[in-house]
Structure 1
Amino acid sequence: MSEFDRLRHAMRVTERPGVALDLTAVLREGRRLRTRRRLAGAATLAAGLTAVAAVVAVGIRPGDPPSVERPTPVAVAPPPVAASPTTPDSPEPTTPTTMARDIPKPLGHVVDSGIRHGVEQRVFYVVQVRVPGQPGVSIGLAAGRRAPDGRLTTDILVNDVEGADRGPGFHQIGYDERGAGAAVPTFGYFVGPAQQITGTVNGRQVSARLARWSADKQVVIFWFDPADLAPGDRLDGIVAHDAENKRL
């Protein structure tokens, strides 16, 4: 029988006739019910606190150092490299069209044109070249200057870009578009028994000066005196004649 049933039984005794009310029993059962309710409430509260304590214990245990939450690493780009300061008055670096160190050693003799630029001699010489995919092109003609100590400075280099560089006839002709200072005379080379080379400009004929390449006498180097043909002036035509004045 539960506590409620016992209390109900004690109180219902009064409903039966002839039965005296037992106040002692009613009070006893009421006290017992209230006591059990208090105990039950205390047990429920204790169980709740235990559950909370268990949850807390999972996160931090007594004596453990407090955990520190670290921020998520963020990738940071390196700072840009500062540009080097420039001086407004500093001149722009210039690179010659052709530098002496870019030219291989002359093949055969160096030809002196007889033209002087101060103490330097205007000279011409053949050098070895290489054109990708063109095995028939292996030489070029350079126009340069020779210092008193023999050091060469190359101003212009011309060469074929296809075909055969020893084929009969005229090959590439060099023009100096600057036409000032130590300007390079118009020059080139002819392959064959040429004894005379004549150029035409504005209806006027000018004769070139000739020299044979020491490594191959069929290669005739020619140039026009700047007094007869200004450097940079384009020829309207050019012809070569042999020793019998036959046109080649």
Structure 2
Amino acid sequence: MSEWDRLRDAMRATERADTLLDLDLVLREGRRLRTRRRVARAGAATLAAGLAAVVVVGVVARPGDPPARRPPPVAVAPPSVAVSPTAPDPVEPTPPPTVSHDVPPPKPWGQLIDSGVRHGADRRMYYLVRVAVPGEPKVTIGLAAGRQAPDGALTTDILVNDVEGSDRRSGFHQIGYDESSSTAPVPTFGYFVGPAHRIIGTVDGRQVDARMARWNVDKQVVIFWFEPAQLTPGQRLDGIIARDASGRRL
């Protein structure tokens, strides 16, 4: 009997339910066959290396179990080869959205109110403009702080308005603070609806009176602002009240 026959007999033993797989016999016969073939023919080194990679997994059969089936051959992937990964195509950065600087400034509604504050040749002005807030039909006005050049051109610096409810309800509404450090700081300003004759702000324990002017379109709307010498632009008020002509708090 040749070495191949003995090796096949050893491996066929796994097909009989009453036989245990003799791994030692299989490996011993495989080694003997590989050794002889290497001696007989040097060119068989590739085949021997291939056989050395074969691992036989046996299943121990128990009485009463169905005959064991040899597992189907499994395809073995070739050895991996180091390959430099292909760099992905460069991603072009998304350009920033284009911002139009041609939006016209809001058009004043009613008269311009001169605050008496000057920024070089420009005059600090306050004025009401029309606004629209989605879902808020009773919000129609906003209060703007702007600068008017000697030629009459108007630049809007800050615009404040209510975002809900009614912009004509009695009392104080949005107050504008200058959050920037521009060369033309905006004095703190706002508007009050009602018969106010005096508006007083409190900051750091001291009281500061605001300057006032009534809107010519609706006399109930009182526009007020604080002189920069009395209240530094951007400085937050601790409180603010309005009083009527008799000094009663509104």
Normalising by structure 1, we get a TM-score of: 0.60
Correspondent of 1:107 among 106, 109, 132: 109
Give the corresponding residue for 1:123: 125
What do you get for the CA RMSD once the two structures are aligned? 2.6
1:133-144 to structure 2, matched below 5 A, reads: 133-144=135-146
Does the Cα contact within 8 Å between 1:209 and 1:223 map onto a contact in 2?
yes
Correspondent of 1:204 among 203, 206, 210: 206
> Structure 1: how far apart are the matches of 2:232 and 2:103?
28
Does the Cα contact within 8 Å between 1:100 and 1:153 map onto a contact in 2?
no
> Structure 1: how far apart are the matches of 2:234 and 2:187?
8
Per-residue deviation, 1:102: 4.7
1:162 aligns with 2:164: yes
Correspondent of 1:232 among 227, 234, 240: 234
Give the corresponding residue for 2:4: none
Over 3 Å counting, the alpha-carbon distance change for 1:156 and 1:140 in structure 2 is same
Does the Cα contact within 8 Å between 1:100 and 1:154 map onto a contact in 2?
no
> Structure 2: how far apart are the matches of 1:202 and 1:113?
24
Aligned length: 160
Per-residue deviation, 1:101: 3.8
> Structure 2: how far apart are the matches of 1:246 and 1:110?
29
Give the corresponding residue for 2:76: none
> Structure 1: how far apart are the matches of 2:204 and 2:218?
34
> Structure 2: how far apart are the matches of 1:82 and 1:180?
36
Does the Cα contact within 8 Å between 2:127 and 2:143 map onto a contact in 1?
yes
Correspondent of 2:134 among 132, 136, 144: 132
Q: One-letter code of the match for 1:246?
A: R
Which 4+ runs in 1 deviate beyond 6 A? 79-83
Over 3 Å counting, the alpha-carbon distance change for 1:100 and 1:121 in structure 2 is farther
> Structure 2: how far apart are the matches of 1:100 and 1:106?
18
Per-residue deviation, 1:201: 0.5
Give the corresponding residue for 1:74: none
Structure with greater Cα Rg = 1
Per-residue deviation, 1:179: 4.1
Three-state SS of the structure 2 residue aligned to 1:165 is: coil
Per-residue deviation, 1:81: 9.7
Per-residue deviation, 1:177: 1.3
Q: Any stretches of 5+ residues in structure 2 without a counterpart? A: 1-88, 94-98
> Structure 1: how far apart are the matches of 2:92 and 2:129?
45
1:33-52 to structure 2, matched below 5 A, reads: none
Does the Cα contact within 8 Å between 2:105 and 2:155 map onto a contact in 1?
no
Correspondent of 2:195 among 190, 193, 197: 193
Three-state SS of the structure 2 residue aligned to 1:217 is: coil
> Structure 1: how far apart are the matches of 2:152 and 2:102?
13
Q: One-letter code of the match for 1:193?
A: P
Normalising by structure 2, we get a TM-score of: 0.60
Per-residue deviation, 1:180: 4.2
